[in-house]
Copies of this chain bind each other. A is one copy, B any other.
Amino acid sequence: MSATTSREVRLRARPRGLPTLDDFEIAETPMPEPREGEALVRTIYMSVDPYMRGRMTGVRSYVAPFEVGEPLSGGAVGQVVESRAPELAPGDLVLSQLGWREFAAAPARALERIDPGPAPLAAHLGILGMPGFTAWYGMREIGRPRSGETVFVSAASGAVGSLAGQLATRWGARVLGSVGTEDKAAHVRDELGFDGAFCYRTTPPREALAALAPDGIDVYFDNVGGEHLEAALHHLRDFGRIVACGMISRYNDAAPAPGPSNLFLVVTRRLLLQGFIITDHWGRRGEFLAEVAPLVARGELRWRETVAEGIEAAPGALLKLFAGKNLGKMLVRLAPDPTR
């Protein structure tokens, strides 16, 4: 180790509405020093996820808010550079919540050693990581598509939506997706194997679904909320299920926006709307990996990554997520990937 300093991204101000680069600052710190039982880790990839917007607001929720003046945190893959913990050795690859900083010292229990195996290292933050697990759990436990049913996934080219749709396809459902550009629609259809896709900026979801699913939909995997949710309610068939995973269209609202005007359909059509947070279900992670990792290894699932370079790019990467400038999992690479 020759570097004597590290850099981290701190929250400078709590945004109202859409965050701007001014809400973040890059700060230089002395190189962290691991104490007994800790390791010094260099971040290779850090994850940028929509849920982080909620943490920028100072509201207590299922995950602690980011604090002004403090470094942000989030999923990351890193490499141990120095260890004072017997279970870790320099060179080990680890998964942690130590994103948004170049180096961090952390207790061994906060570092999960990973074997990248046949999957690329970055996949541990995407299809095999929290977003993939989220897609699998929500579709398997809440959506529960049966063979022949029609499934609609919003943000279908994103890290969660792309796996949610591919899994539903594998389980025998007809799968439709909405995305924000025509290019993404082509990707979802041609590469991910969805049965149909549309760009919600050119065709309103309610119209698009009328054309793509004239007999209605059975499952809606909601990553978006707002107009998408209202359209899905309109088209859901009796006993349909809504997987309430995220509502990215709402995250930057400065004031509360009205909900769907047709929510009473939940009663007349006997719908289920179920929210979930994947960290509640960590005990099921082995089951997820047992099903999905072999499919990844065999090349039977596809995914994309949009990778920004360097810690200076991290705040912008988060903003790009809300502008839909990513395709697939949004990552920032803070150091060279030693496995590539």
Interface residues of chain A, those whose CB is within 8 Å of chain B, are 54, 61-62, 225, 229, 238, 244-247, 250, 256-277, 280
Contacts and interface: CB of A to CB of B under 8 A. Distances in A.
A259 B263 contact: yes
Contacts of A274: 266, 271-273
A246 B261 contact: no
A244 B258 contact: no
A268 B225 contact: no
Return the 10 tightest CB-CB contacts between A and B, nearest first.
Answer: A259-B259, A258-B258, A256-B261, A266-B275, A267-B275, A273-B273, A259-B263, A259-B260, A244-B266, A247-B264
Contact of A277 (B257, B260, B268): B268
Given A258-B258, A266-B273, A272-B274, 13 more contacts: A54-B268, A61-B268, A62-B238, A62-B270, A246-B267, A250-B264, A256-B261, A258-B261, A259-B260, A259-B263, A267-B276, A270-B276, A272-B275
A225 B270 contact: no
How many copies of the shown chain assemble into the complex? Answer: 2
Task: Point out which of A62, A250, A262, A268 has the most chain B C-beta atoms below 10 A from its C-beta.
Answer: A268
18 contacts: A54-B268, A62-B268, A225-B263, A225-B264, A229-B263, A244-B266, A247-B263, A247-B267, A256-B262, A259-B259, A260-B263, A267-B276, A268-B275, A270-B276, A270-B277, A271-B275, A272-B275, A273-B273
Contacts of A270: 62, 275-277, 280
Contacts of A245: 267
Contact of A272 (B225, B250, B269, B272): B272
Contact of A273 (B54, B238, B272, B280): B272
A54 B268 CA distance: 10
A54 to B, nearest CB: 7
Contacts of A264: 225, 247, 250
Contacts of A263: 225, 229, 247, 259-260, 263
A321 to B, nearest CB: 17
A119 B174 CA distance: 51
